[in-house]
Amino acid sequence: MSGPHSHALYVHGHTWLHRLAPQAKLTAQLLFVVAVVATPREAIWAFAVYALMVTGLVAAARLPATFVAKRLLFEIPFVLFAVLLPFVGGGERVDVLGLSLSAEGLWGAWNIVAKATIGLAVSIVVAATTTMPEFLRGFEALNMPRAFTSTLSFMIRYTDVIADEMRRMKVARQSRGYDPRWLWQAKAVGSAAGALFIRSYERGERVYLSMLSRGYAGSIPRFDETPATAAAWAIALSLPAAAAAIASAAWLVTR
């Protein structure tokens, strides 16, 4: 936790990227990833340019390189199978360091790893420069259904509260000598999960009563409806626009 309203992925800062309207950031992120994914895998130069663009964003947001690198490790379990492709792929074989690998498999692995890494990196930048409330406002400004944003908001608010309750129940179990080693000892954990569910359900009722007491009449009022400026949209969308131009160029070149 590194600030008053941080989430684990947030890095406190005051750069223009931090200040950019969240709805513009979210839209730009999505479009950028689409453009990257639509780029032909043979255009290696295009991916180099994307990587440069993302590196530029990391620098602009003043994110520590080690932070980004650590966060990137997150993709390893997801791209693990891609690494196997060169070994199991069929077709033409090429020799790399004495290993006979599938050319098609190599391209496949490159495709997945390059696109996943660039997509993840840009997501890390957005997450690191946007607070939770900003995300929620961004979703709302993009006309996400209110039921969805409200649910998300309650989830964020109460995750800590419920995790805390869970921790207290665990400490209480352990304090009475509970130290499960075998599956049949798991019953207490099951009961605790049930108790937690009931408690959360009851809390939901109490929260609802407190909402009613403050005049809640079916919908949470919107705050801070200041729309993003045209300049903010222009700055944000210049990134996916550039990416789209590169992707198109890559298609023309590889034809």
Partner 1 sequence: MSDAALEVRELAFAYPDGSQALFGVDLRVESGERVALLGPNGAGKTTFVMHLNGINAAQHGSVAVGGLPVTKEHLREIRRRVGIVFQDPDDQLFMPTVREDVAFGPANLGLRGDELDARVHEALEAVGMEGTADRAPHHLSFGQRRRVAVATVLAMEPEILVLDEPSSNLDPAGRRELADILRGLRITMLMVTHDLPYALELCPRAVVMNRGTIVADGATVEILSDQALMSANRLELPYGFFPELAGRSVTA
Chain contacts with partner 1 (rule: CB under 8 A): 1, 4-5, 132-133, 136, 153-154, 156-158, 160-161, 203, 206-207, 209-217, 220-221, 223
**d(C-alpha 51, C-alpha 53), whole Å:** 5
CA dist 38 and 170 (Å) reads 48
Three-state helix/strand/coil letters over the chain = CCCCCCCCCCCCCCCHHHHCCHHHHHHHHHHHHHHHHCCCCCCHHHHHHHHHHHHHHHHHCCCCHHHHHHHHHHHHHHHHHHHHHHHHCCCCEEEECCEEEEHHHHHHHHHHHHHHHHHHHHHHHHHHCCCHHHHHHHHHHCCCCHHHHHHHHHHHHHHHHHHHHHHHHHHHHHHCCCCCCCHHHHHHHHHHHHHHHHHHHHHHHHHHHHHHHCCCCCCCCCCCCCCCCHHHHHHHHHHHHHHHHHHHHHHHHHC
Nearer to partner 1, 50 or 139 (CB): 139
181/206 with CB nearer partner 1: 206
Query: Based on CB atoms, which residue is closest to partner 1, 25 or 137?
Result: 137
In angstroms, give the least distance from the CB of 216 to partner 1: 6
Distance in Å, CB of 200 to partner 1, minimum: 11
CB closer to partner 1, 179 vs 225? 225
Smaller CB distance to partner 1: residue 21 or 82? 21
- Closest approach, Cβ 220 to partner 1, in A, equals 7
- Least distance from partner 1 to the Cβ atom of residue 154, Å: 6
Q: How far is the CB of 155 from partner 1 (least distance, A)?
A: 11
> Least Å distance between CB 151 and partner 1?
12
Nearer residue to partner 1 within complex by CB, 5 or 170: 5
